[in-house]
Structure 1
Amino acid sequence: MAHHNDDVAYDPLPLTNDDAPSHTLYNAPPSPDPRLSSFHTPQMVPSELGDDSSIPQGAAQPRFLGAALYDGPGSPALRDSFASSQHTLPSSEYNSSVYALNEPSGLGRYDGGSYHDDPRDSYYAEHGVPMNVMSSGSRNMEEKRAVYAPPKAKSRRRLMIFGLIACIILIILAVIIPVYFFILRPSSSTKDSQNDTSTSSGDHTSKTSSASAAQPTASAVAVTGGDGTLITMEDGTTFTYKNPFGGTWYWDENDPFNNGAKAQSWTPGLNETFQYGIDKIRGVNLGGWLNTEPFISPALYEKYLNNPTPAVDEWTLCQAMTADTASGGINQLETHYKTFITEQDFAQVAGAGLNFVRIPIGYWAIEVRDNEPFLPKVSWTYFLKAIKWARKYGIRINLDLHALPGSQNGWNHSGRLGTIGFLSGPMGYANAQRSLDYIRIIAEFISQPQYKDVVAIFGIVNEPQGSFMGQDNLAKFYYQAYQIIRNAGGTGAGNGPYVSIHDAFFQRSSWNSYFPNADRMTIDSHPYLCFNDQSSNPMSSYATTPCSAWGAIVNASSASFGLTNAGEFSNAVTDCGLYLNGVNLGTRYEGTYTQGNYPRTGDCTPWTDWQNYTPATKAAIKQFALASMDALQDYFFWTWKIGNSSVSGKVETPAWSYQLGLENGWMPTDPREAIGTCGNTNPWSPPLTPAQTGGAGAGNIPANAVANLAWPPASLSTGGPVSALPSYTPTGTIVTLPPPTFTSTSGKSAINAGSGWANNGDTTPMNVPIQGCTYPDPWVDPNSAVPPTCAAASRRAFVTPAPSS
């Protein structure tokens, strides 16, 4: 059984029996330390992970096998938990004018605890003035008709002259109007969209751009609409857009960078400023789409389960697909991209009241090297579709770089299950150099004016295992990436996306001193309750657990670090589910987990047999979801969709699917329902500081802090001095990501989709192998001996490009 050091005290989780007196407690599992950002098993180093003999060939520790955090004598003292911070605030989204529609005092339409936007409701019945109807038989009308006699007849000659003049005018208008709408107006619109300015618009800042204004251009088809409108997708199929929250879609092939869409009435449109800290991120992940995972898309992996080398991660999946030429080879992966997430999913996300999607993507969207078997570049094509669909429905994107060369955590979602070769081992520094190049390439693309309002957040590394590489070395990498992203966005604060850094399973508070005054940086944590000791207590006993476990931590981090987001969380309180821990690795709950010694707690069937959930069970899951949303405040549920098993024909991990929960009644149809679930105890009061949101002081990181973040690090914890490790040199041709292509139907010149590179002054070459040098495999075991390296004189470290003027 996983355990913690005896000198750390843990309170029991507040799990109450709904059928017993309020003071009665179940025998609950140990409460997760309220200081933790995530909860994992206690292994800290590879040697503690035990024998790999029980793992399929090519596999190692699974996705969620992490270190128990903050154990040992140096860990800080336990502090009490507090509930969440949601409460009514001045100028907050909860009492702003968007709810009352700026109506005068006493005439507001926010009554009875609900929001009304129907002009037919009682408000208008009480305050409206009915129009007088004037029929054709009206006495007043008859009197007027009697007063005015018909005009005198005109001569034939004068009528002919006037007729000729009218014809000439009509001909002129017939020429001018099409020229304006189809040539002049779209051209001006595109130009303005790239040179916009900001003006105040209510609670949000509206970017005054004709391209961004939600005005339809002259087109043969509708370019905008709301609830109930018919959408035709690329393949010709149609669906009805359902959005009861006042959201509007916008798409015009002649104006593809128009940001006129709005996800919901209360969410700022893409042509408005999203006020982080005030406007809430209510998001969901599109996990398992462009970066596959066995438990999200089990059918992909089940097909090759009986191979000599079973598919356990995307590496082995690509190898198996490539060999399976009869089924289409590796192109099967593109079929998954085409079908797993479509435009309709984005429309449903907006209709579910959500305003953000977090999209995991692997580095192979850019390129692969040597013998890496991943399908290169194709996933980028589908990320471009994601940008298009998100723009159409007013949704913002958090692009998350989920897999780095060598693996940042050794889990299956990093591309290859096994060991950690990023900032660890003989190739640890070279893999970090290569990763920085990929971050730079992505940052240059998404910082272009055509994309910057849609791709609003860039998560630079997903779940790095900080205990392997060390927090200081990881912080240096983070700072180097931060500088690269800010350089890609151009000079001056406020340019480019928010930079999202994962807490690396350290306390969030431990990151406060590293990047003070950083320009728009957010810290990401993944709080899960299900990967530690298991409990058979019912779902209802977890009603307020998220509030006590996470609420106070989020409040403290928001006040000290700044924008704090939960990049992943789920409804799972046990680790039940097909492949959740990895292919053929079992579960803790049933005592079959091959990576630890867990006693059997019970049968997983009641937790996964969602088709037989009772109304009480669904209500308990929904309560847990609401408490999680309220406690985490700015969040991305993991994940939107779970695919069916090819064996059972159904979803086998229901606690992880937002879409399934909506369809079956255990997820809220309106996420605002979560507000106040935790009681609003010990709240954090927005807004964020100007420096944290790109305003005054942003980017002015103190010199002493910068000095501690010098790159590269002197030494790696596994691998030794960086000066003795293999490295790349910046002499390669820059790789740029291709933009989408659009076909204008208006007959005007080609649409400018950008070059893929925002900062033309950023010309530093890419890091590539030094000619004549021999390198170990980038995925080499980090405990391998360091090979002889090329002469130090030929080695060059990565240099941050100087900002362009």
Structure 2
Amino acid sequence: MAPRESPRPKPRERSHRHHHDKKRSQGGTPRKSRHAATSSQSDSQVLSADSLAQLDRLNQRETVRPHEITPKKPRRKRQREVVDEKIVVERSRKQHKRKKRRVVSGALLEEGNSQKLRGIRGGGKYDDEYSDGGSRKKKFWIIGGIILVIVIIIIVVAVVVSKKNSGKSSISTSSSTLSAGKPANSNLAGISESSIPAAAKGTDLDPFSWYDTYDFNVTYTNDTVGDLPIMGLNSTWDDSQSPNSNVPAISSSWGSYADRPARGVNLGGWLSLEPFITPSLFTGSGVIDEWTLTSSLGSNAQSTLEKHYDTFVTEQTFIDIADAGLDHVRIPFSYWAVVTYDGDPYVYRTSWRYLLRGIEWARKHGLRINLDVHGLPGSQNGWNHSGRQGTIGWLNGTDGTTNAQRSLDIHNQLSQFFAQDRYKNILSFYGLVNEPKMTVLNETAVMDWTQSAFTLVRKNGITANVVFGDGFLGLTKWQGELQGNSGLVLDAHQYVIFNADQISYNHTEKVNYACSGWSEQAEQSINVATGFGPTIFAEFSQADTDCAPNLNNVGAGTRWEGNFNVGDSSTAVTSPDCPTKNSQCSCTSANADPSTYSTAYKQFLQMFAEAQMTSFEEGWGWFYWTWATEDATQWSYQLGLAAGILPAKAYSRDYNCTPTATGFSGLPETY
């Protein structure tokens, strides 16, 4: 038995999923929001300061506050004919007396007013429409009447055609929402594209630019909390659901995680991509991570990734997770959901909207959330799931200090947003950073940053448990560290297959180590006399090999077969590490369709998974990595259920580490 707390192993023995070192740097300043106000309008395009101030005051009275958004039937806009600023202000006052509707904030109005307010100052095309010539007025009303008749005819024809083409509902026929291959976006019916301010059209705030609008509130808003948009959220929420009768509804207190441990699953590969989870996205030459993927896709990156966000995880995902007897969901996402910087190729903020929708689906089905920042500026571990494979530039190197502050700034925004009442009950865990590689990073720097981040998010109102990673240092390292921070929780990710000593255990040894070694470590860690205290295990899998294609980096090979190489001779594995340690070691059977698994192998895989679940419940619980993969069955809870190698209900298991595993008849040790 080689417990995790043994003297620090070589980096290759402690890694999560990847190793690679490649020179890189990230610099520059944050990229401006695509809807930020500009100052380029000419004097002929804007109101005077006094008049604009009056408009802003009126607009502010009508601005909808966060989470008071309710879809409203759009009103036809009355054509504005203006002579001077006094008329504009007077008409704004009259409009204010009518039924309230969502309006554009002053800043956005300044950016988008060139089309709507041109000609207000002298020389505009509307000037002579209010001249004293009666004939001009008469012509205006005649032309207006003709236009009105034409519009009515067009509307009638459109409605008839729409009903004829669809027996379900009348849906928007905008080219932006019904283009080839896109969902029908039926809840845009009745919402006029003209209700979207000109400056916001085509941005991430414009629902007509979204790939899919199902279950989003499509009423336009530019309201933010922590400078993060509340796009797509409905004004009310319901915390009355629970996923099963063994756990309380979201609205009720969970109680102690030491007494009722979490049983959860990750949504890895959804908002933070990984090649081994969705290999179909990583087919281009040199495409090894999200940085190179979005670089290669160029202008197609946004549409490609949004389609992935929309289809890889759906509401059915959360229904199935609850049906599996699970009660928590860990959602990894990366910093570009919040901000991007000069030189970043990442898709800016599209994943933010899907993160918010995912949380609402989890709420609908009674599932609590573990919020996980999976990638921070500079990369905290240099592995592809941080966004960019290569050099670690977080708290390290030329831009280390800059990236440390950027990361705190991101948490300043996130913590303000998720401190809202809407998230008080459903947010159980708030993760600071996934898997900082402290075998390379300065330990003191990481601990200092962790303390600063914890203090910041608590100050901003986060009441959930705050999670930090063990940094691959071993659980005993954290005894006595970062004490005095109520609700701070240590996170350990346990995998035998990335440790050279443990991957070579035979099947019986793997099960017994999961039962004895990991349960002992969990018990020691949650006791402040021997460990840090509160400890969760937010990643594990039932894989007994590292054979899944691209698991160790794209084309990196495997330890199992002895061809692992990421370009670093100190971490390369040149001879097989499977139990027989010879040429018999093969990934063929491990990567085969699960329908070909022998009875003994299926028995082992389920027992191995259940042994880990039992051990990690000696701590604060567990989160399986991950829910869905395209091919890698032993890494997918969804595929594992279908293959019959996981318990049908996570709370009702066949094996609880008693009796001790004694062997698996006829099961080869070469796969």
Scaled by the length of structure 2, the TM-score of the pair is 0.61
Provide the rounded CA distance (Å) in 1 between the counterparts of 2:314 and 2:14: 39
Residue deviations 1:134-167, cap 9 Å, x none? Answer: xxxxxxxxxxxxxxxxxxxxxxxxxxxxxxxxxx
Kindly indicate whether residue 351 of structure 2 is the aligned counterpart of residue 368 of structure 1. no
- Amino acid paired to 1:393: H
Partner of 2:265: 284
Provide, for residues 672-699 of structure 1, a one-character-per-residue CA deviation record: whole Å limited to 9, x for no partner. Answer: 2349713599xxxxxxxxxxxxxxxxxx
Q: Is the 8 A contact 1:547 1:678 kept in 2?
A: yes
Distance 1:58 1:367, change over 3 A: closer
For 1:487 and 1:331, locate their aligned partners in 2 and report how far apart those are by CA, in whole Å: 37
The answer for the alignment partner of 1:262 in structure 2 is 242
* Match of residue 638 from structure 2: 659
Map of 1:578 onto structure 2? 549
Letter in 2 for 1:321: L
The yes-or-no answer on 1:425 pairing with 2:397 is yes
Give the CA deviation at 1:552: 0.8
**Structure 1 residues 237 and 431 mapped into 2: Cα distance closer, same or farther (>3 Å)?**
closer
**CA 1:402 to 1:335, structure 2 compared with 1: closer, same or farther past 3 Å?**
same
Q: Counterpart in 2 of 1:413?
A: 385
Give, as a single letter, the amino acid of the residue that structure 1 aligns with 2:609.
A
1:430-469 correspondence to structure 2 within 5 Å = 430-469=402-441
Residue 340 of structure 1 pairs with residue 312 of structure 2 = yes
1:627 aligns with 2:614: no
Letter of the 1:642 partner, please give it: T
What's the counterpart of residue 523 of structure 1? 490
Task: From the superposition, tell whether residues 588 and 680 of structure 1 become closer, same or farther in structure 2 (CA, over 3 Å).
Answer: closer
* Equivalent in the alignment of 1:379: 351
Q: Does the alignment pair 1:314 with 2:290?
A: yes
Residues 323-362 of structure 1: pairs in structure 2 closer than 5 A:
328-362=300-334
Identity of aligned residues (%): 37
Q: 1:393 to 1:567 in 2, by over 3 A?
A: same
1:678 maps to 2:657: yes
The C-alpha deviation readout for 1:258-288, integer Å capped at 9, x for no partner, is: 1111111111110100112122100000000
Q: Give the structure 2 partner of residue 640 of structure 1.
A: 627
1:556 to 510, 514, 524: 524
**Residues 282/39 of structure 1: CA separation in 2 closer, same or farther (3 Å cut):** farther
> How far is 1:617 from its partner?
1.2
Question: Which residue of the partner structure matches residue 479 of structure 1?
Answer: 451
Whether the 8 Å CA contact 1:557–1:564 is kept in 2: the answer is yes
* Cα distance change of structure 1 residues 405 and 236 upon mapping to structure 2, 3 Å threshold: closer
Change (3 A) 1:551 1:371: same
Alignment match of 1:669 (pick from 608, 623, 648) = 648
State yes or no: 1:594 paired with 2:568: no
- 1:545 counterpart (507, 513, 516): 513
Kept after mapping to 2: 8 A contact 1:37/1:526: no
Aligned counterpart, 1:510:
477
CA separation in 2, counterparts of 1:537 and 1:507? 20
Decide whether aligned partners of structure 1 residues 265 and 233 sit closer, same or farther in structure 2, where only a CA change above 3 A counts. Answer: farther
8 Å CA contact 2:24–2:391 kept in 1: the answer is no
Structure 1 stretches lacking a partner, 5+ long: 1-10, 12-30, 60-188, 192-231, 239-252, 490-494, 644-650, 682-805
Give the count of matched residue pairs.
439
Cα distance in 1 between the residues matched to 2:512 and 2:315: 35
Structure with more contact order per residue of length (Cα contacts < 8 Å, sep ≥ 6): 1
Alignment partner of 2:591 out of 587, 604, 608: 608
Change (3 A) 1:277 1:35: farther
Cα distance in 2, alignment partners of residues 435 and 236 from structure 1: 30
Q: How far 1:558 sits from its partner (Å)?
A: 1.1
Three-state SS of the structure 2 residue aligned to 1:450 is helix
1:598 CA drift (Å): 2.8
Q: Which is worse superposed, 658-667 or 451-460?
A: 451-460
| Separation in 1, partners of 2:330, 2:276 | 18
1:177-217: per-residue Cα shift (whole Å, max 9, x none)? xxxxxxxxxxxx999xxxxxxxxxxxxxxxxxxxxxxxxxx
| Displacement of 1:564 | 0.9
Amino acid at match of 2:539: E
Distance 1:478 1:662, change over 3 A: same
1:498–1:329 distance in 2 versus 1, CA, 3 Å: closer
Cα distance, 1:517 vs structure 2: 2.8
Equivalent of 1:567 in 532, 538, 541? 538
Q: What is the Cα deviation at residue 38 of structure 1? A: 9.8
AA aligned opposite 1:410 = G
Instruction: For residue 290 of structure 1, report the CA deviation from its aligned partner.
Output: 0.1
Structure 1 residues 635 and 36: alpha-carbon distance in aligned structure 2, compared to 1, 3 A threshold: farther
Q: Note the alpha carbon deviations across 1:601-632, whole angstroms, 9 max, x for none.
A: 41101111123012221111000011000001
Q: Whole-Å Cα distance in 1 between the matches of residues 433 and 387 of structure 2? A: 13
Which has the larger share of helix?
Answer: 2
Separation in structure 2 between the aligned mates of residue 617 and residue 350 of structure 1, nearest angstrom:
27
Paired residue type of 1:571: Q
Structure 2 segments unaligned to the other structure (5+ residues): 26-66, 70-184, 188-211, 216-232, 567-571, 661-671
Q: How far apart in 2 are the matches of 1:498 and 1:237?
A: 31
Deviations 1:49-87 (A, max 9, x none): 89x7xx9x989xxxxxxxxxxxxxxxxxxxxxxxxxxxx
Q: Give yes or no for contact 2:334–2:376 (8 Å, CA) kept in 1.
A: yes
- SS of residue matched to 2:440: helix
TM-score (norm 1): 0.51
* Matched AA of 1:603: S
Cα separation, 1, equivalents of 2:503 and 2:488: 37
8 A contact 2:497–2:503 mirrored in 1: no
Distance 1:32 1:43, change over 3 A: closer
Alpha-carbon distance in structure 2 between the residues aligned to 1:340 and 1:529: 28
User: Which residue in 1 is equivalent to 2:228?
Assistant: none
Q: SS of 2:590's equivalent?
A: helix
